[in-house]
Amino acid sequence: MKIEEIKVFVCSPGRNFVTVKVMTDSGIYGIGDATLNGREMAVVTCLEEHIAPCLIGRDAHDIEDIWQYLYKGVYWRKGPINMAAIAAIDMALWDIKGKAANMPVYQLLGGKSRTAVTLYAHASGDTIEDTIDKAQAHIDAGFKAVRLQAAVPGLEVTYGVLGDKKDYFELQGNRPLPPEEPWSTQKYFTMVEDLFKQARARLGNNVHLLHDVHSRLTPIESARLGKLLEPYNLLFLEDASVAENQENYKVIRHHTTTPLAIGETYNTIWECKNLIQDQLIDYIRAAATHAGGITGLRRIADFANIYNVKTAPHGAPDLSPICFAAHMHLNIWAPNFGIQEFVGFGNEQLNEIFPHRYEVKNGTVAILDAPGLGVDFDESAAQKYPYKRSYLPVSRLEDGTVWNW
Ligand code: GCO
Ligand code: MG
């Protein structure tokens, strides 16, 4: 089954998505997600100019060989742009193999380890009360796990808090230049302890609570936060500090038993090898789109399994429904699956472009037995929503210093 053509699309149904379609001479095609928030067009160029020409005429069944060819063969290994491009090709090839075998991808990975995939929902509010109200609504809808984020009083904006926006899919289209957002660790600490104290008091102990710090703390501050939150029994504390230096997490781990999660920006196993091997984290959050596709993430999951680290794939709104589907297959298969982040299936435009039959019931997604990934891509619908340049915000301390993401 030869690869005949590789098409690349960028569309913006509220936010930008880069999609790859791999066409074969058998008539079967596969799709992949190559979205890299704020650097979309760099991935498009990588795919169109550098990757697509090398793949025409190759056997679409050779997933592993093509992955190695694009990873090792390029000389310039790793990196978010290259790995997002590899990821999209890889997902598309798994989609093709599944369709050719008339099987869902999870069957090709080794079959199912569970009957449904547990999700965690987001509750993000302008106030602590508002956040807890939103969490309660998710619990009432059947969710067993909720991530809590609340605006930090005294800061003009807090990243990830929705404010008056209906959902995340409205948020990003209007950032033609990176907005700058202030950060104060001191103000944050006052808020965050209250948030979890009040949440446990109102929501009880029968729900898993999570929190994302977006890497704003130094390791010793993260250690302090982990200790402070121990009484509230979090499922995990996410991205407390950056781990470019993986040793950072030794400082945090040494001081707290709050479970730690990291990895949504990772591109390969190398960025988390020591974190996993030294058992410095509990959940690895790498995403198929950013960590080399299903092939890349499968390797990370298997390695993590040896060290009791569970998977918790990134599920932000800047990953397309194709990535969501890829995660579903990995989540159904992985013996060490933990939990899947979930922010909803998005707006009407998004669902028109990426039709699928995945459904949420009681905070879980059931297995879908459609062949391949179980999601499609409508080219003409995508054309209605052209690319709009858009950036993530940049974080600064109150004195103007550029701060961590
Ligand atoms: C999450 C993430 C997102 C990211 C976003 C960046 O845990 O969902 O932290 O909010 O910031 O995906 O592109
Ligand atoms: Mg995060």
Same domain, 71 and 15: yes
Provide the domain limits for residue 55: 3-103
Cβ neighbours for 399, distance < 8 A, ≥ 6 positions apart:
none
Same domain, 142 and 127: yes
Q: Is residue 378 part of a domain?
A: no
ipTM of the complex: 0.98
Ligand 1 atom having least distance to the Cα of 238: 7
Residue where one domain finishes, among candidates 52, 87, 103: 103
Same domain, 331 and 260: yes
Element of type H or E holding 117? strand 116-125
pLDDT at 163: 67
Q: Is 318 in the pocket of ligand 1 (CB under 6 A)?
A: yes
Q: At what angle do helices 219-229 and 248-255 cross, to 10 degrees?
A: 30
Number of domains making up the chain: 2
pLDDT at 210: 98
pLDDT at 26: 98
Same domain, 221 and 187: yes
For residue 240, the CA-to-ligand 2 centroid distance in Å is 10
Helices (H) and strands (E) in the chain, counts: 14, 15
Note the pLDDT tens digit of each residue in 88-122: 999 999 999 999 999 999 999 999 999 999 999 99
Catalytic choice (71, 106, 120, 159): 159
Same domain, 119 and 99: no
The CATH number that applies at residue 9 is 3.30.390.10
Residue where one domain finishes, among candidates 86, 103, 120: 103
Q: What are phi and psi of 117, to 5 degrees?
A: -110, 120
Q: Is 40 in the pocket of ligand 1 (CB under 6 A)?
A: no
Same domain, 129 and 83: no
Q: Is 393 in the pocket of ligand 1 (CB under 6 A)?
A: no
Same domain, 88 and 218: no
- Answer whether 119's CB lies under 8 Å from 360's CB: yes
pLDDT at 161: 86
Q: Which residues of 153-180 are buried (b: 16+ CB within 10 A; e: fewer)?
A: eebeebbbbbeeeeebbebbeebeeeee
For residue 100, the CA-to-ligand 1 centroid distance in Å is 34
pTM of the model as a whole: 0.97
Same domain, 175 and 296: yes
Same domain, 118 and 42: no
Note the pLDDT tens digit of each residue in 70-83: 999 999 999 999 99
Same domain, 207 and 139: yes
Q: Is residue 309 part of a domain?
A: yes
Residue where one domain finishes, among candidates 84, 103, 122: 103
pLDDT at 267: 98
Q: Is residue 385 part of a domain?
A: no
Same domain, 156 and 295: yes
29 CB-contact burial (10 Å; exposed 0-12 / middle 13-18 / buried 19+) = buried
Q: Rounded to 10 degrees, what is the CA torsion of 263, 268, 271, 273?
A: 100
pLDDT in tens, the chain (405 residues): 999 999 999 999 999 999 999 999 999 999 999 999 999 999 999 999 999 999 999 999 999 999 999 999 999 999 999 999 999 999 999 999 999 999 999 999 999 999 999 999 999 999 999 999 999 999 999 999 999 999 999 999 999 887 666 677 765 567 899 999 999 999 999 999 999 999 999 999 999 999 999 999 999 999 999 999 999 999 999 999 999 999 999 999 999 999 999 999 999 999 999 999 999 999 999 999 999 999 999 999 999 999 999 999 999 999 999 999 999 999 999 999 999 999 999 999 999 999 999 999 999 999 989 999 999 999 999 999 999 999 999 999 999 999 999
The CATH number that applies at residue 223 is 3.20.20.120
Same domain, 206 and 237: yes
